[in-house]
Chains A and B, each alone.
Chain A
Amino acid sequence: MNWRSLVRHETILALLVVVTLVLLAQRSDRFLTLDNLLNQGRLMAEVGMIALAMTFVIVTGGIDLSVGSIVGMVSIVLGVFWHDVGLALPVAIVLALLVGTLGGTVNGLIITYFKVPPLIATLATLALYRGLAEGISQARSVRGYPDWFFVFGQGQILDVPVQIWIMVVGAIVAACILGLTVFGRTTYAIGSNEIAARFSGLAVDRTKILIYSASGLCAAVAAVVFVSRVTTTRSDMGTGWELDAITAVVLGGTSIFGGRGTIVGTALGLILMQALKNGLLLAGYKGDSTIVVIGAALILTVLLSNLSHRGRET
C-alpha cells in the first residue's frame, strides 16, 4: 500500500464533496440542516436509482440513453393498467416494473445479438419508448391515485423519506454485486477487454443482457416513485434524466471507455451534483449558474482523475 493507491478518483472526489459542502454551508445557514439534506435525498432518489444501474452499463463500456424514456413509458403503462384496464394498483405496479425490465432486455438483445452499438441501439429506443408513452397515453394524464400509493414518493419510515431507503438499499446491493461477486468481475472484464473476456469463457452476452435489463428495472422503480411523488402520470416524465444519470456516473469516476468505476464514486457524484444544485440556489445564485458550475466540476474532476490515473500507470 503506497500513497499512490490513495490518489484515486474517489478520494479526490470525496475531498471535493467535503470542500463543496463546507463552502456551501458557509453561504447559507439553511443548507446543512437535517430537513434540507433529507429533502435533497428525496429529490435525487429517482435519478440516483437510475445511476446505480448506469454505473454497470458504463463499466462494460456501454451506455443507456433510453432510461428517461423508459420512465415515461412505465409511468404511462402503470396509469393505463390501473385506470383504464382496471387492475388492482399493486398488480399494475408489478406489471409496470416488468414492462420496464422488458424494455431494458430489448436494449440488451439488440446490442448483443444484432451487434448494434449501445449508443445507437438506446438512441433508437429512446425515441421508440417515448413514442409509445405518448401513443398509448393519448396525451391524457392519469390522476386520482389512492392515498396509500403516495407512500413511495412522499411517505417516511423512521423520519427518513421512503425513496431514500429504496435508493440506499439499492446502492448497497449494487456495490456488493459490482465489487464482490463473479458477476461484478465479469462486468469489469467486459469493459477492459471484451474479446479477452470472451476467450476467457465468460458469459459476456448474458451479463450484458442482465445489466441492460437491470437498467430498465431501475428506471421502472424510479418511475413508480416519481409518479407517487408528483401524484400524476404524464407521457413526458423523465425527459432528460439519462443525461443526469450519466453525468453523475462519469463525475463519479467511471470511465466512459469501460473497465473502471465504482458505486461509491457514483454516489459521491450524485451527492456533489445535488449539493451544487441546492446549495448554490440557497446561497442566492440563479438556476442557470448552477448548470455552468456542474459542467465545470465535471471537467475538473475528470481532469484530476486522468492525471492521477496516468501517474499510476507510468
Chain B
Amino acid sequence: MIRLPLAIALGISLCGVAHAASTWTGGDDLPTNPLACDNTPATVAAKPYNGASVTGAPDRKGKTLTVVDVPKLIGIGYFNATSKGMADAAKELGNVNVKTDGPTKANIDDQITFIDNYITSGVDGILFAANDPVAIAPVLKKALGKGINVVGYDSDATPDARQWFVNQAQSNGIAKSLIDNMAKEVGEEAGVAIVTSTFTTPNQARWISEMGAYAAKCHPKLKFLETVEAQEDNTLSFTQATTLINKYGSDLKGIFGMTSVATPASAEAVTQAGQCGKIAVIGLATPNAMKPYVAKDCVKSVVLWNPVDLGYAATYVLRAVTDGTLKPGDTSVKAGKLGDLQVINGSEILLGAPFVFTKDNIEKFDF
C-alpha cells in the first residue's frame, strides 16, 4: 500500500528531472530587439507615457521628502553603491532624507513586507529595485493609491505600478557589449556558459534573452553550453562556476557572470582551477571586486554602468516627480551633475550606454 505513493512520487521526480535537463536558457519569453553588429546606434521610437499616476498626493513642491529605498537586498557592494549615490544626491539637494532598508536575501516576500510597512509608516516617496516585476506590483499600487511617489531603478516593476523607472542601460546594449567582448577574447567558435542569479529575476532574464538573440544574429557560432542559477550568493556562484569548469573541460572557453556576485566568484573559480587565460570571464560587476583579477590578466573586460550614478539619478528623478518638473510626455530630465537624461520607452529614464572597465581604466574607479 505504501509502495504506490512512493513509486508515484519517484516517477514525478524523475519526470521533473528529465524535464529540467532539456534546454534551459534562463531567458524570459519577451520579444528581443538585438542591436546591429557594427556600432550603428539603435533608433528610439517615441512612445506615449505608460507609467502610473499617483492619487491624492499632497503638494510636495520644494518640501523636505522622507524617502525609503528598498533594493533587492542589502549588504552587497552593488546596492551599497546605489545607496551611496542616493545619499550624495540627497546631500546636494538638501531637501531629501533617504534611508535604505530591505531584506538580507533577494526574496520577493520580504521585500513586499518591507514596502508595505514603510507605506504604513508614512513616507513621501519609495525607490525600489524589484525582485519580481509582477509580485511587487500590488504593494506599489497600494503606495500610489496612498499618495506616495514611486520610482524604480535597476530592476523594473510592471509600468502600471510605478511612475518612472531609471534604466541603467538598455538590455540590448548590455547584451551586445557582453557578447562582442566575449567573441573578441575567445573567438567566434567557442563554448560559453552563463552564471546568473535566478531564472526569474527580471533583468538578468531579459539580458540573457537579448544575449541569445544578439549572438544568433552577429556571432552565430558561439555555443551556449548551459545557464546555471547561483542566487546572489558568493559561495554558490563559486561552486556553480567550478562545476561548469569540471563538467565541460576544454569545451568551455568563456563564462558570463550576470550579477555583481557571480562575476568575481567565477573569476575566482577560474583562477583556482588554474585556467586563467584559457577560460575567459566577462560579466557585470563592480570594479573593486574585479581589480585583483584584472591586475592578474585573468579578466580582461568588466561591463557595467556606474551604480553610484544610478542611485544618484533615481533620487533626482524622484525629486523632479514630486516637484512636478518631470511630467508624463517630457523627453528629458535634469539630474544634477549627470546633466540631462533621456526619456525612453514611455516612462523610463536612460542612464547611458554600458561602460567597459579594462586594465587601463579600472584603477580610476572606487566602488
B37 at the interface (CB under 8 A from A): no
Please, which residue of chain B has its CB at the minimum distance from the CB of A47?
B109
Could you say which of B6, B107, B122, B205 contacts A30, with CB atoms under 8 Å apart?
B122
Chain B 117-137, CB within 8 Å of chain A: the 1/0 string?
A: 110111000000000101111
Known: A141-B132, A229-B138, A232-B134. A134 touches B112 (CB 8 A): no
Question: Could you tell me if A287 and B107 are in contact, using CB atoms closer than 8 angstroms?
Answer: no
B115 CB → nearest A CB, Å: 11
Q: Complex formed: what's the CA distance from A218 to B74 in Å?
A: 31
Most-contacted residue by chain A among B17, B20, B114, B205 (CB, 10 A): B20
A contact residues around B108 at 8 Å (CB): 230, 234, 236-237
B contact residues around A132 at 8 Å (CB): 12-13, 16
User: What is the interface size of chain B, counting residues whose CB is below 8 A from a CB of the partner?
Assistant: 44
B331 at the interface (CB under 8 A from A): no
Stretch among B38-46, B96-104, B250-258 lining the A interface: B96-104
Question: Could you tell me if B17 and A102 are in contact, using CB atoms closer than 8 angstroms?
Answer: no
Known: A43-B113, A230-B134. A36 touches B16 (CB 8 A): no
Stretch among A10-18, A184-192, A278-286 lining the B interface: A278-286
Question: Could you tell me if A282 and B121 are in contact, using CB atoms closer than 8 angstroms?
Answer: yes
Most-contacted residue by chain B among A135, A154, A231 (CB, 10 A): A135
Which of under 10, 10 to 19, 20 to 34, or 35 or more describes the interface residues of A?
Answer: 35 or more
Q: Complex formed: what's the CA distance from A177 to B122 in Å?
A: 42
A-B contact count (CB 8 A): 112
B188 at the interface (CB under 8 A from A): no
Question: Could you tell me if B134 and A135 are in contact, using CB atoms closer than 8 angstroms?
Answer: no
B contact residues around A156 at 8 Å (CB): none
Chain A 260-288, CB within 8 Å of chain B: the 1/0 string?
A: 00000000000000000110011010111
Q: Complex formed: what's the CA distance from A139 to B16 in Å?
A: 13
Question: Could you tell me if A141 and B121 are in contact, using CB atoms closer than 8 angstroms?
Answer: no
B9 at the interface (CB under 8 A from A): yes
Q: Complex formed: what's the CA distance from A139 to B8 in Å?
A: 24
B contact residues around A229 at 8 Å (CB): 138
Interface of A is mostly: helix
Stretch among A59-67, A105-113, A196-204, A246-254 lining the B interface: A105-113
Chain A 36-55, CB within 8 Å of chain B: the 1/0 string?
A: 10010001000000000000
A37 CB → nearest B CB, Å: 10
B224 CB → nearest A CB, Å: 15
Q: Complex formed: what's the CA distance from A14 to B12 in Å?
A: 45
Question: Could you tell me if A230 and B135 are in contact, using CB atoms closer than 8 angstroms?
Answer: yes
Q: Complex formed: what's the CA distance from A106 to B13 in Å?
A: 12
Could you say which of A39, A105, A139, A231 contacts B134, with CB atoms under 8 Å apart?
A231
Could you say which of A131, A141, A277, A286 contacts B101, with CB atoms under 8 Å apart?
A286
A contact residues around B12 at 8 Å (CB): 132
Question: Could you tell me if A36 and B20 are in contact, using CB atoms closer than 8 angstroms?
Answer: no
A200 CB → nearest B CB, Å: 24
B24 at the interface (CB under 8 A from A): yes
Q: Complex formed: what's the CA distance from A165 to B141 in Å?
A: 24
Could you say which of A30, A105, A239, A288 contacts B120, with CB atoms under 8 Å apart?
A30
B274 at the interface (CB under 8 A from A): no
B contact residues around A140 at 8 Å (CB): 29
Question: Could you tell me if A154 and B9 are in contact, using CB atoms closer than 8 angstroms?
Answer: no
- B 158-217 contacts with A by CB, 8 A: 198-200, 205
Q: Complex formed: what's the CA distance from A154 to B116 in Å?
A: 13
A136 at the interface (CB under 8 A from B): yes
- A 3-47 contacts with B by CB, 8 A: 28, 30, 35-36, 39, 43
Question: Could you tell me if A281 and B118 are in contact, using CB atoms closer than 8 angstroms?
Answer: yes
B contact residues around A312 at 8 Å (CB): none
B63 at the interface (CB under 8 A from A): no
Question: Could you tell me if A287 and B135 are in contact, using CB atoms closer than 8 angstroms?
Answer: no
Question: Could you tell me if A239 and B107 are in contact, using CB atoms closer than 8 angstroms?
Answer: yes
B161 CB → nearest A CB, Å: 10
Could you say which of A135, A231, A286, A288 contacts B20, with CB atoms under 8 Å apart?
A135
B contact residues around A134 at 8 Å (CB): 20, 199, 229
Question: Could you tell me if B103 and A287 are in contact, using CB atoms closer than 8 angstroms?
Answer: yes
Known: A30-B120, A43-B113, A282-B120. 12 other contacts (CB 8 A): A131-B17, A134-B199, A138-B20, A139-B199, A230-B112, A230-B132, A231-B137, A232-B135, A235-B199, A237-B108, A277-B117, A287-B104
A-B contact pairs, 16 of them (CB 8 A): A35-B120, A39-B116, A105-B5, A109-B5, A113-B2, A131-B13, A138-B19, A230-B134, A230-B135, A230-B136, A231-B135, A236-B108, A240-B107, A278-B117, A281-B101, A287-B104
Residues of B that sit less than 8 Å from A by CB: 2, 5-6, 8-9, 12-13, 16-17, 19-20, 24, 26, 29, 74, 99, 101-105, 107-109, 112-114, 116-118, 120-122, 132, 134-138, 198-200, 205, 229
- 4 smallest beta-carbon distances between A and B, as pairs: A139-B199, A135-B20, A135-B16, A230-B135
